[in-house]
């Protein structure tokens, strides 16, 4: 076991060192590398291209095939650029990254926190969501990211290191309820990605997303109701290459008083608006409707 842990530590330090050094390269060079990666992924390898085309076509049945192809192509180009921006974020100071993210209407979060409520800030895989690790620099409150630990100890440790660089705290989905109910816990903001495909299908959480019947995790809503938390939606759009706007939109001020499924339904409506506003920004290669 000691040898295994030692090898994992060596692997972690090696990967982190490489990403840190690469992140020191100028942004124009990283974007150039991203352009090469886009060409290879889209034109040569075609990584999940059929999945992306099918997802977009079914989501926008009124679009012509040329429009669908254009959305998919721009998605791949943007997604490659996201990786360049994430690499830069491994070593770039908060002052630099903070200028690339504009967070609007943070007064909404302040109001909920001051009233003694936790805030569940739900979002989708829109824009470069990974850059939200600078959120602790944008709001004067503790920020937690609810996540599912990765199977690989090395990659899990690396993910935690990168995402927590500016003060964000990662908390496993299995421990979040216990944490929020702890006696010494103060009101905080909990980031929650709610557009992933659940393993367990619950009929009460089957809705229509982009013209397709879709199952959703019940965890976000049940967490909000159980902990009497307020819920906001983070609407992410790209202002220009490398720059993003995050608008804090009200979703539910008292989730525990709403009928079951209403919070999730409102989340889906806001997510759908986010995707329709910037269709190339969503994670189309994800097999969202595989079940």
Query: Looking at the domain assignment, is residue 28 inside a domain?
Result: yes
Domains in the chain, number:
1
| pLDDT value of position 134 | 94
Task: Please report the pLDDT score of residue 218 as a whole number.
Answer: 86
Residue 198's pLDDT band (cuts 50, 70, 90): confident
Residue 291 lies in a domain: no
**Residue 146 is part of which domain span?**
2-281
Residue 291 has pLDDT above 70, yes or no: no
For residues 278 and 240, the answer to whether their CB atoms sit within 8 Å is no
CB-CB neighbours of 114 under 10 Å? 10
pLDDT in tens, 43-83: 999 999 999 999 999 999 999 999 999 999 999 999 999 99
pLDDT at residue 183, as a whole number: 60
Q: Is the pLDDT of residue 95 over 80?
A: yes
Any domain includes 286: no
Sign of CA dihedral 173, 229, 142, 242: positive
User: 190 lies in a domain?
Assistant: yes
- The secondary structure of the chain, three-state, reads CHHHHHHHHHHHHHHHHHHHHHHCCCHHHHHHHHHHHHHHHHHHHCCCHHHHHHHHHHHCCCCCHHHHHHHHHHHHHHHHHHHHHHHHHCCCCHHHHHCCEEEECHHHHHHHHHCCCCEEEEECCECCHHHHHHHHHCCCCCEEEEECCCCCHHHHHHHHHHHCCCCCEEEECCCHHHHHCCCCCCCCEEEEECCCCCCCCCHHHEEEECCEEEECCCHHHHHHHHCCCEEEEEEEEEEECCEEEEEEEEEECCHHHCCCCHHHHHHHHHHHHHHHHCHHHECCCCCCCCC
Residue 287 lies in a domain: no
Max alpha carbon distance in the chain (Å)? 58
Residue 137: burial class (beta carbons within 10 Å; 0-12, 13-18, 19+): middle
pTM of the full structure: 0.93
């Amino acid at each position: 076991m000691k040898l295994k842990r030692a090898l994992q530590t060596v692997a972690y330090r090696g990967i982190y060192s490489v990403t840190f050094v690469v992140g020191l390269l100028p942004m124009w060079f990283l974007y150039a590398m991203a352009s090469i990666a886009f060409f290879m992924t889209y034109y040569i390898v075609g990584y999940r291209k059929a999945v992306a085309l099918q997802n977009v076509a079914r989501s926008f049945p009124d679009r012509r095939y040329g429009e669908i192809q254009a959305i998919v192509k721009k998605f791949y180009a943007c997604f490659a650029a996201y990786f360049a921006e994430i690499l830069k974020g491994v070593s770039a100071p908060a002052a630099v990254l903070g200028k690339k993210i504009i967070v609007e209407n943070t007064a909404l979060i302040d109001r909920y926190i001051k009233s003694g409520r936790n805030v569940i800030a739900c979002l989708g895989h829109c824009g470069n969501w990974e850059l939200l690790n600078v959120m602790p620099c944008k709001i004067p409150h503790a920020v937690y990211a609810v996540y599912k630990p990765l199977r690989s100890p090395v990659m899990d440790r690396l993910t935690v290191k990168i995402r927590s660089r500016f003060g964000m705290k990662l908390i496993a989905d299995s421990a979040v309820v216990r944490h929020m109910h702890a006696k010494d816990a103060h009101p905080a903001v909990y980031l929650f990605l709610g557009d992933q495909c659940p393993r367990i299908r619950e009929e009460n959480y089957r809705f229509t997303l982009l013209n397709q019947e879709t199952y959703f995790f019940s965890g976000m809503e049940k967490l909000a109701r159980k902990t009497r938390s307020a819920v906001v939606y983070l609407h992410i759009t790209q202002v220009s290459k490398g720059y993003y706007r995050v608008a804090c939109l009200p979703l539910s001020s008292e989730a525990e008083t709403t009928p079951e499924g209403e919070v999730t339904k409102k989340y889906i409506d806001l997510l759908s608006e986010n995707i329709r506003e910037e269709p190339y920004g969503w994670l189309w290669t994800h097999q969202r409707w595989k079940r």
